[in-house]
């Protein structure tokens, strides 16, 4: 098996009812395109060092390769997965229900960020708990989104010296 950076590497599922896994070769550790390969998987964005088995094949990034074909091509598609934990709690006070939500990235450099949301049920309102959950969670996610946008704005200023302008 031979591959070049930018090629797709497909590993067939171990059973017919399981999907194949596809990734982009981002580095070659062997000689002359031989394994092992550093692969960024399209389904979760993770990178692994892969020694392909008989269930793997390469889909060239460029058909009809010649001597003039670049091998430093970046993958056309990358995927990343961000997981966010949302914790919801309720407090009952004098017939009024207060729903609280906290959203936080599970890992990475943003794991210290927190988004908070709250919803209150008036004592005379019909008790439909999922409405409070939905409102509190949406507000927590919105708060987290605003904080992430501010982190991005600060990064832009730090790297360019120019204030961020929303587009």
* pLDDT at residue 14, as a whole number: 76
**Stretch 143-153: mean pLDDT, rounded?**
93
pLDDT of amino acid 20: 84
116-138: average pLDDT:
90
Separation CA 64–CA 73 (nearest Å)? 16
User: Under a CB-based contact definition with an 8 Å cutoff, are residues 24 and 47 in contact?
Assistant: no
Distance CA 10, CA 31 (A): 20
CA distance 82 to 53: 29
Domain ranges in the chain are 1-81, 84-160
Rounded to whole angstroms, how far apart are CA atoms 20 and 136?
A: 38
pLDDT, tens only, 99-121: 999 999 988 788 899 999 999 98
pTM, whole model, 2 decimals?
A: 0.54
What's 166's DSSP letter?
-
Q: How many CB atoms lie within 10 A of CB 166?
A: 5
HSE-CB at 50 with a 13 A cutoff on CA atoms is 29
pLDDT (0 to 100) of residue 68: 41
Instruction: Tell me the percentage of the chain whose pLDDT exceeds 70.
Output: 89
Return the higher-pLDDT residue of 20 and 120. Answer: 120
CATH number for the segment(s) 84-160: 3.30.160.240
Overall CATH class of domain 1-81: mainly beta
Q: For position 67, what pLDDT does the model report?
A: 38
Q: Which tops the pLDDT comparison, 102 or 16?
A: 102
Average pLDDT over residues 54-66: 76
């Amino acid at each position: 098996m031979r591959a070049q950076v930018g090629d797709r590497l497909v590993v067939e599922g171990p059973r017919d009812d399981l999907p194949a896994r596809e990734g982009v070769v981002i580095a070659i550790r062997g000689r002359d395109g031989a394994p092992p390969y550093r692969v960024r998987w399209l389904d979760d964005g993770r990178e692994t060092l892969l020694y392909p088995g008989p269930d793997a094949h390469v889909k060239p990034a460029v058909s009809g390769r010649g001597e003039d074909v670049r091998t430093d091509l970046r993958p056309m598609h990358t995927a990343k997965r961000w997981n966010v934990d949302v914790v919801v709690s309720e407090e009952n006070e004098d017939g009024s229900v207060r729903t609280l939500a906290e959203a936080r990235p599970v890992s990475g450099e943003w794991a210290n960020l927190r988004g908070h949301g709250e919803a209150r049920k008036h004592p005379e309102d019909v008790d439909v708990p999922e409405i409070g959950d939905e409102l509190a969670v949406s507000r927590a996610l919105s708060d987290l989104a605003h904080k992430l946008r501010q982190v991005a704005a600060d990064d832009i200023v730090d790297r360019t010296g120019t204030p961020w302008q929303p587009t």
